[in-house]
Amino acid sequence: MQSSANAKLIKAEAERLGFMGCGISKADFLEPEARNLEQWLNHGYQGDMAWMANHFDKRVNPRKLVDGAKSVVSVLLNYYPEKKQNADAPQISKYAYGTDYHFVIKDKLKALLHFINQNIGEVGGRAFVDSAPVLDRAWAQRSGLGWIGKHTLLINQKAGSFFFIGELIIDLELEPDHPTTEHCGTCTRCIDACPTGAIVQENLVDANKCISYLTIEYKKELPAAFQNQMEGWAFGCDICQDVCPWNRFSAPTKEPAFTADERILKNDWADWQEITEEVFKEVFKNSAVKRTKFEGFTRNIKFLKK
Ligand code: SF4
Ligand code: SF4
């Protein structure tokens, strides 16, 4: 069948481009995810991220994003670093050590779309990386790349969860993959380890309490109630992933763009506390940490208790 041969061709090229996984799902309406998203928003669990409520129709229906959409090609890109940060320093989430993933993945996805057009035929579509209108975990889960863990992140049985997700939504019919089974079982390590109780129940995170949201998206003064609960995190938080038993399978990324600036790895408390705007701009010139801006990053560091 042509749709099966084309799916194989696309997966082989995705692997050649450095993606650690590639799976395909039908570009159907996302049900039951639409209902779950609606309930999450109704609870106000999105905090100040008003954009989460925008484009609801597009989020749950890929055909509203790409005319005639038939398939969603999901890809995973490993970011697990070979070297970790000095543990005695304000912590930065591992995903932000290197070059901003939006650029890295978008370039690779555009190359994949170009390959499809060159080798399969004229195909319309768009590349998405962590962009508001796409529920990337849901698509990756549907395409057999893993299951959504109790911390709400995607877990791959062979690779854990330290990877980015991106997707192409295209108007080409491809043989879809099947979802995998769920393997959290009776484990509750992520829920037990979350210092702020943000995982309010299995598969439900209240962003208002999540350190990742507070240190990156939240723009006001950090609420005093969290002062003793930050566990040293100055940008993002990896605790629920670090404790997950499936991450014992994480292997270092082979993507050179994700190599960390040595200062990110070696700086200690004093270095970060004294950081100037000039140094901030230099150290994080290509990093996702820029998103907090200098003011946000220094606000976070000042908030931490050494
Ligand atoms: S990222 Fe940190 S604060 Fe957020 S749910 Fe995970 S452990 Fe809790
Ligand atoms: S820590 Fe346990 S419960 Fe949480 S995501 Fe990992 S396997 Fe699932």
The CA-based angle 153-84-294, given to 5 degrees, is 80
Tell me what percent of the residues of the chain surpass a pLDDT of 90.
83
Q: How confident is the model at residue 306 (pLDDT cuts 50, 70, 90)?
A: low
Residue type, 176: P
pTM for the predicted model, two decimal places: 0.94
pLDDT surpasses 80 at 131 = no
Give percent helix, percent strand, percent coil of the chain, each to the nearest 5. 40, 15, 45
Report pLDDT for 42.
Answer: 83
| Arithmetic mean of pLDDT, 176-199 | 97
Report pLDDT for 50.
Answer: 74
Contact residues for 119 (Cβ-Cβ < 8 A; gap 6+): 9, 13
| Arithmetic mean of pLDDT, 298-305 | 93
Report pLDDT for 60.
Answer: 81
Distance (Å) from CA 162 to ligand 2 centroid:
13
pLDDT digits (tens, 9 = 90+) for 251-290: 999 999 999 989 999 999 999 999 999 999 999 999 999 9
pLDDT digits (tens, 9 = 90+) for 70-83: 999 999 999 999 99
Q: Name the packing angle between helices 2-16 and 101-119 (round to 10°).
A: 140
241 CA closest ligand 1 atom index? 6
pLDDT surpasses 90 at 237 = yes
The answer to whether residues 63 and 70 touch, using CB atoms and an 8 Å cutoff, is no
The answer to whether residues 89 and 268 touch, using CB atoms and an 8 Å cutoff, is yes
pLDDT surpasses 70 at 132 = no
pLDDT surpasses 90 at 177 = yes
Select from 137, 141, 151 the residue to mutate for testing ligand 2; criterion: most ligand atoms less than 8 Å from CB: 151
Nearest ligand to the C-alpha atom of residue 230: 1
Q: Which long-range contacts (CB under 8 A, 24 or more apart) does 209-216 make?
A: 210/237, 211/236, 211/237, 211/239, 212/93, 212/236, 212/237, 213/47, 213/49, 215/292, 215/296, 215/300, 216/291, 216/292, 216/296
Q: Would the CB of 207 count as within 6 Å of ligand 1? A: no
Of 34 and 93, the one with more pLDDT: 93
Active site residue 242: no
Contact residues for 89 (Cβ-Cβ < 8 A; gap 6+): 232, 267, 268, 269, 271, 272
Report pLDDT for 93.
Answer: 97
Report pLDDT for 38.
Answer: 83
Report pLDDT for 94.
Answer: 97
For the chain, what is the mean pLDDT?
Answer: 93
pLDDT digits (tens, 9 = 90+) for 20-41: 999 999 999 888 887 888 888 8
Give the DSSP per-residue string, 99-136: S-HHHHHHHHHHHHHHHHHHHT----EEEEES-TT--H
pLDDT surpasses 90 at 1 = no
30-34, 193-197, 224-228: range with highest mean pLDDT? 193-197
Which residues have any ligand 2 atom within 6 Å of their CB?
149-151, 155, 184, 187-190, 243-246
Select from 141, 181, 188, 250 the residue to mutate for testing ligand 2; criterion: most ligand atoms less than 8 Å from CB: 188
* Cα separation, 306 vs 301, whole angstroms: 10
The answer to whether residues 236 and 180 touch, using CB atoms and an 8 Å cutoff, is no
